[in-house]
Structure 1
């Protein structure tokens, strides 16, 4: 199915492209001119890309895969083939063989085409026989494997009218098996390929150190019945070319993504319709567009969209081979709500991780930095970033690919599986989330959203468990209540250690942690959050003892403030006691519930303080 989808994509998106042609970067142009007296002149001209001066211009030229053998291409190739120039890293004897083979290919071309049909190969043979290329001055910086395209009298050789047919015949001789059979892709009787005639650029395949092939059986041990090449993989030459053209086009399209330090490149496309997928929303969600998507699905899907298929491909590399990590082919949309489809999965992604932000309005830090309002929904890259190390100095997560980021190599791939395929959050990512929260001492919007997503996707099927997206005071799950209680204890300490107000305006829950640290060496959260996530009961017992001193200090300033905090703490402790008390040791699921309860309680406190006109953007350290 994958091979069929790739060839279909190539035929749909590569109309008009000659067979066995690929884009190649050429840093040089061999410009040949014919004088009035028949004397040739030649010059090697640099051709930098205007947008990328250090790179060459890309041309669509005849191209065929070569590994260790000498195998020239037509009209454009390496400097070592076209001019026979070696460098300090190349073998001069082999370079001489490459040049002879290149000239020999032109001779074969000229022998198959008359001057009346196409004069280009004949003129090119005269150029090589004239010796004019031997007098070329070699520019500085030329490398043996630099790409060079040939032009004669202002016309590129590879655009000559007889090139396409001659090149197809050449590739058939090189890559064909000599057998005629039923192609497993197109189902037609045709000449079968012996090897795949093209490769994907290594830059498109994470982990590949060279240009990579999708199908390669170059040793007997790799093949069925100890057979080499494509003996038991009947693919015709045309489909073999389209297969790699489609794969290259997909992996280089804007509908593909990879991140530094990640071992997978992901690509997606839609077949059977001109409708679009919604994966761009998953990567960079816009709240208004997400709401429009929900509304559109509830109104019903257009008939055209029901016919489309959503295809998903994840690949990695190993030297010169492509590893297909995953291929998915599902309906774009269905009429049945319980059937798997791309649209329903994307909607479930947003619904399952949607969570109240810490701050529902923008605010300013003490140093004047403006912080925007938090987000209810998040993109996969943002949540993947939150599974890395928090850098307090840079006030952000360590970037992808950075040293000591402590982020799984395939985290983007795994989270995209969760988003697009409606899978549960992998156990390894759930454990890693807790690991990073405990090590960083930080719980923010994205990590809380991940905790909620993990809880919803792992709900017990035999009993109904509500996973709230904002503070739920009726939720009696002990771990959730324990997280709420820990946040309430932090708020009590902040209120007790706030600076003396200059006016009589109440200032509960307005103290920034920098203010708390002026009076205490470390806050309650600094000392106990990491332990509380794992073993909440002893921490909350300690918190009850310390809260007595905080309340006493509060009462000296304001009896009303002290009473409010006593009332809140008492209610939460009683709620815990009534339902068995805080867990002695949290399971992984209970650790996620603790994080969610802590985040919801803190967001509620900040919103309440803002409603009273007293919020100052506190609690950003968590």
Structure 2
């Protein structure tokens, strides 16, 4: 399924001219040799384009799709339809006329090999040109005399017949494709049915293409598909030690999926790294705007404005197509997400997801809706997924990467609108218990024990994974009507911290540094101590502030049900209750800061 999807993408990209088909590549072309239908040279036309270099305009050769060019060392090797002046005109500045004749003859022979079976007028014109052109008298041609210096300084020349480039003529293109395919086939190579395309009697790829750009994998490229060990689980069905014969993929299909995947990975705006997972994504019809929108919905800069993203989201939610910069985005557009991770010389597939573009966008939007929580004004509303992953890692560790499998599990949960991984929630709580508030300095930003991202992810987790218990109790801002004791205790802890800070404005550390973790896990053992401290702090305050805090404490204490016997406080809180405690603390603290801002 993965390879089939990539082959379809390759076909679409090649149709749009974004990647070259097998046997084709790009070359820098400076001139066109214009031939008439009789094969006469009627013009030498510049193919250069104008670009700005600083404040000056400069002409440079154009990048054009041409038949794949050979790699030359010292021998004479001609190219088809596109080559330098020595091979196509018999004119150069090397000062070796015999070698130049040899080059032109090599080009003539190659074009006859490829085009002799063609019956079209354009193919016959090209052959007629090579048969009738005289290298010995080439410099005397008026067209060459007029452009001699420009020709000698030029890069490559592309043959044009009439008003069409030879590379655009279907018969000539097919002749080249057939020649390239037959030239690459060996007489003793394995042939069979391709598992991807279904084509029969195809040459089978023994070695598959290298994939470059996966974070952590070999920079020279790693294999997505490979077989090279005997008597291992992936070598079976009588094909031990037969490498690619174990799962036959044609050379054509192997080249296609490799080219498409390398194209995606080369575009770093459409390949994101989350933890150890490199995520690539694409629409079946290679619509870049879909990738841009997907990137923007994950919280990264996509080049789309907020209004454009909002419009797309609204249309996707309503099941309607959206128009972005003249491109129609359908909610039914097939969309693919592939997660890759390094594994030695190979690449592991973390996940492969297929759904409609509209469904993926709605799932991401639902995740972001669950994340919404009151936050400081300098923080953004939209939280990137990489920020959530980063929040699970130790910021002071030399290797601050998250768990290798955690990023993949989180991405799958978001994209499929599934339950969040338990490990994510546990890691966030662990970081809260381990981290401390740290002021900015030394080039590092300010850090918080209970940060915006951590609190937002806890809220999303409780709503998604424990919705029956917390739905309606957990809101974006502090919920004055929530009487759940764990949430109330979190709010109460924030008020007690505020009392301490008001009584001791210059204090370096608060009760949060010493008591937060134990108050969150075992409140019955800690809160009596905190109340005793609060009474001492209240005695230091002026009467209006003391009255305010006593009323605040009274309102929160009224929410705690008094039992007939024993303490009203739980001896231990479960993990989800600890999460609610953190949320109560965070939201009450944010409400405090918001109140201060309004007072000012």
Shared fold by TM > 0.5? yes
Q: What is residue 327 of structure 1 aligned with on the other side?
A: 352
**Kindly tell me: are residues 594 and 171 of structure 1, through their superposed partners in 2, closer, same or farther at Cα, counting changes over 3 Å?**
farther
Give secondary structure in 1 for the equivalent of 2:330: helix
Counterpart in the other structure of 1:142: none
Deviations 1:232-252 (A, max 9, x none): 423333222212111211222
Give the aligned partner of residue 491 of structure 2: 484
Cα deviations by residue, 1:527-548 (Å, 9 ceiling, x for unpaired): 1112223222322221111011
Matches within 5 A, 1:9-24: 9-15=9-15, 19-20=21-22
Cross-structure match for 1:496: 503
Aligned ranges for residues 46-125 of structure 1 at < 5 Å? 75-76=70-71
Shift of 1:443: 0.6
Contact residue 185 and residue 203 of structure 2 kept, 8 A = no
Q: Deviations over 1:346-390 (max 9, x none)?
A: 221111111111x3x4xxxxxxxxxx3x33331112222222334
The 1:464/1:352 distance shift into structure 2, 3 A limit, reads closer
The 1-side partners of 2:529 and 2:471 are apart by 33
Report the alpha carbon displacement of residue 195 of structure 1 after superposing the two structures with TM. Answer: 1.8
* 1:376 counterpart = 2:368: no
SS in 2 for 1:553: coil
Report the CA distance between 1:19 and its aligned residue.
Answer: 4.5
Residue 417 of structure 1: CA displacement? 2.5
Equivalent-residue separation in structure 1 for 2:321 and 2:279 (angstroms): 27
Partner of 1:220: 230
Larger mean CA deviation between 574-583 and 466-475 belongs to 574-583
Residue of structure 1 equivalent to 2:221: 211
1:309 partnered with 2:316: no
Q: Following TM superposition, by how much is the alpha carbon of 1:294 offset from its aligned partner in structure 2, in angstroms?
A: 4.9
Q: Secondary structure at the match of 1:316?
A: strand
CA deviations on 1:123-170 (whole Å, 9 max, x unpaired) are xxxxxxxxxxxxxxxxxxxxxxxxxxxx9984499x999986554334
Cα distance change, pair 197–528 in 1 and its aligned pair in 2 (3 A): closer
Deviations along 1:96-119, whole A, 9 cap, x unmatched?
Answer: xxxxxxxxxxx9999876599799
Aligned to 2:433: 438
1:11 deviates by 0.8
What are the Cα deviations for residues 504-541 of structure 1, in whole angstroms up to 9, with x where unaligned? xxxxxxxxxxx223xxxx32111111222322232222
Instruction: Give the direction of change, closer, same or farther, for the CA distance of 1:61–1:405 in structure 2 (3 Å limit).
Output: farther
Structure 1 residues 563 and 241: CA distance shift in structure 2, 3 A: same
Answer whether contact 1:205 1:322 (CA < 8 A) is retained: no
Residues in 1 aligned to 2:515 and 2:504: alpha-carbon distance in whole angstroms: 18
Displacement of 1:61 after TM fit? 10
Which of the residues 609, 613, 617 maps onto 2:596?
A: 609
Q: Does the 8 Å CA contact 1:272/1:307 hold for their aligned counterparts?
A: no
**Alignment partner of 1:354 is 2:366:** no
Runs (5+) with no aligned partner, structure 1 = 26-49, 52-57, 64-73, 83-106, 123-150, 334-340, 362-371, 392-401, 499-514, 614-622
Structure 2 spans left out of the alignment, 5+ residues: 28-52, 55-62, 77-104, 116-125, 131-151, 159-165, 323-328, 437-448
Cα separation, partners in 2 of 1:472 and 1:188, compared to 1, 3 Å: same
Asked if the contact 1:267–1:312 (Cα under 8 Å) also holds between the matched residues in 2, the reply is yes
Please say if residues 194 and 229 of structure 1, whose CA atoms lie closer than 8 Å, have aligned partners that are also in contact. Answer: no
Tell me, in whole angstroms, the C-alpha distance in 2 between the residues paired with 1:272 and 1:312: 14
Instruction: State the SS of the aligned residue for 1:75.
Output: coil
TM-score with structure 2 setting the length: 0.67
Q: Secondary structure at the match of 1:10?
A: helix
Query: Does the alignment pair 1:193 with 2:204?
Result: yes
1:15-58 deviation line (CA, Å, top 9, x unaligned): 35554459899xxxxxxxxxxxxxxxxxxxxxxxx99xxxxxx9
Deviation at 1:306, TM superposition (A): 3.8
CA–CA distance in structure 1, aligned partners of residues 457 and 200 of structure 2: 52
Q: Which residue of 1 aligns with 2:545?
A: 561
SS in 1 for 2:560: helix
**Aligned with 2:539 (options 536, 546, 552):** 552
Residue in structure 1 matched with residue 360 of structure 2 by the alignment: 342
1:331 and 1:545 map into 2 onto residues whose CA distance is 59
Q: 2:478 and 2:531 mapped to 1: Cα distance? A: 22
| Residues 1:270 and 2:275 aligned together | no
- 1:447 equivalent in alignment to 2:454: yes
State the distance in 2 between where 1:321 and 1:596 align. 42
**2:85 corresponding residue in structure 1:** none
**TM-score for both structures, normalised by structure 1:** 0.65
Whether 1:281 aligns to 2:296 is: yes
User: SS state of the match for residue 404, structure 2?
Assistant: coil
